[in-house]
Structure 1
Amino acid sequence: MPQDPSKVYINNQSESVLRTYRWRTAENSAAYLLPYIQPHMHILDVGCGPGTISTDLATRVPQGRVTGVEYTPEPLDKARAFAAERGVTNIEFKVDNVLALDFPDNTFDVVHAHQVLQHTGDPVQALREMRRVTKPGGIVAARDGDMHGMAWYPEIEGLEGWRKLTTKVARARGGEPDGGRRLLSWALQAGLTRESITCSASTWCYSTPEEREYWGGTMADRMLGSFKHTAVPGGFATEDELKAIADGWREWITKEDGWFAVLHGEIVCRV
């Protein structure tokens, strides 16, 4: 039996988490992949969440189709509603597990995963599955954040506490929060050849008042919401410690010189 992703993922599909994900678009989260997209392609978007990236990709394949999959059904109604609101019809969403995808070999032209491999517990097996369902000559693409590649200013104690605690909880549950720097290694272990892999890196950067409110606000809410349900029962932190981290995020929001950068690793693998 493949591993249950809910046992690894440190968050859940609560509103504070999905609010973070709804900000993501193909432009700000999959720009490295866009030059490879052609109008006829059939794309699998693994870990699609509320479907914003999937829907953007579907607009770029008018003669093709996008399938978005998520390990749990909770966000998929929102994904379907978002696609309908955008008037995008060449898209579908379903429940599936990247460690054992329910598709035949050689089904898709592109298989894409954004911020997924670090949460799977077995990223090498996930890439093997992504490769299996990709047509010969097709593309396996992945982008993951890198916790220790993130940087911010001012130096606020709560934010460093957030990094240390998130890293500890993620690794204890079988994830790898420094996934971005490991993508190439995971791809090679999955049997993809070095000459077939193109590596890159990119960032998100939050500095305006609106960006700080979005990023810091969702991080604070997640500390006291979805993350609390993992960290407190697991003995990783007390509610008071989580409140102190959330307060650190809210303090950062108020700083006129507040700045936060998220480093991502990226791979495009030709099958």
Structure 2
Amino acid sequence: MATYTTNHAPSVLATHSWRTAQNSAAYLFPHLTPAMQILDIGCGPGTITVDLATHIPEGHITGLEYFGDPLPAARSLAASRGIKNITFTTGDIHSLPFADNTFDVIHVHQVLQHIADPVAGLREMRRVAKPGGIVAARESDRFSWFPANSGIEAWVDVTTRVQRAGGGNPHPGSKLHVWAKEAGFELEDHRVKRSAGAWCFSTPAEREYWGGGMARRMEDSGFVEKALAEGVPREELGQIVAGWREWVDDKEGWFGVLHGEILCWK
């Protein structure tokens, strides 16, 4: 089962919709060819999926989501951009609804940290990859920010606690290759390529997108109910909201997210 700690509330989809192939999957670009068959797991509102479709004009991409809620918006986005080599459907990464050796590339972004068994997920991704195919994963690993902010510190602590309580594996970017090895990929002979990427938010618009979005999640998303159920006081959630809004308003505000990335060849 998936263990996603929030839902697809507007505050969540707003942050996910910022993600594009350029800012979230560029490490995969050198390995794409025009006629590939790609599976994008955890596609959400489809912004990365639709972008990837433009890189494989003779191929096809399937966006898979555990929850069906965001898929109408994903289909509308594809239609608005005239993207036809794309399909969206539902399914579980732990038991993918596809035959062995189906895809040239299987991609996940910020998915493995939210599932009950990331090794089983990677094993399933390996199963549906063609011989010589690629499994690509990118997950957050570390946060940094300026200036010091006790509300953001509490946000890191609370989100980590709630995700672990739900069976997730928060911020695993630095150990993706270990999970890949356990899933059957060979680390030797360059069969697993490890790299890192980053997001940075510092302009007024970027601070409002990131900090404002995190504040709204602490006010109105599925995460709130789960945090309260884990014993997090509502007052602490309010302090987190205040901390994010203080950071958004600070002209010197800076926030960085370090991601781990892997490319695994079957």
Whether 2:218 is the aligned partner of 1:232: answer no
The offset of 1:9, in angstroms, is: 1.0
Which of 4, 9, 24 is the equivalent residue of 1:14? 9
TM-score by length of 2: 0.98
Which of 243, 250, 267 is the equivalent residue of 2:262? 267
SS at match of 1:32: helix
Whether 2:162 is the aligned partner of 1:166: answer no
Which of 80, 84, 90 is the equivalent residue of 1:85? 80
> Percent identity, aligned pairs only?
55
Partner of 1:25: 20
Partner of 1:116: 111
Which of 194, 208, 211 is the equivalent residue of 1:216? 211
User: 2-side partners of 1:238 and 1:93: how far apart?
Assistant: 38
What code does the residue aligned with 2:15 have? Answer: T
Cα deviations across residues 94-149 of structure 1 (Å, max 9, x unaligned)?
A: 00000000000000000000000000110000000000000001100000011xx2
Whether 2:252 is the aligned partner of 1:257: answer yes
User: 2-side partners of 1:159 and 1:234: how far apart?
Assistant: 19
Q: Where does the alignment leave 5 or more consecutive residues of structure 1 unmatched?
A: none
Q: How does 1:83-232 map to 2 (within 5 A)?
A: 83-146=78-141, 149-195=142-188, 196-226=191-221, 227-232=223-228
Cα deviations across residues 146-191 of structure 1 (Å, max 9, x unaligned)?
A: 1xx2100000000000001111111111111121112011001101
The offset of 1:10, in angstroms, is: 1.0
User: 1-side partners of 2:234 and 2:161: how far apart?
Assistant: 16
The offset of 1:15, in angstroms, is: 0.6
Matched residue pairs, number? 263
SS at match of 2:26: coil
Q: Where does the alignment leave 5 or more consecutive residues of structure 2 unmatched?
A: none
The offset of 1:225, in angstroms, is: 1.4
User: 2-side partners of 1:99 and 1:175: how far apart?
Assistant: 14
The offset of 1:66, in angstroms, is: 0.3
User: 2-side partners of 1:238 and 1:88: how far apart?
Assistant: 45
Q: Which runs of 4+ in 1 moved over 6 A?
A: none
Partner of 1:73: 68
User: 2-side partners of 1:100 and 1:48: how far apart?
Assistant: 16
The offset of 1:230, in angstroms, is: 1.2
User: 2-side partners of 1:213 and 1:234: how far apart?
Assistant: 28
User: 1-side partners of 2:136 and 2:173: how far apart?
Assistant: 12
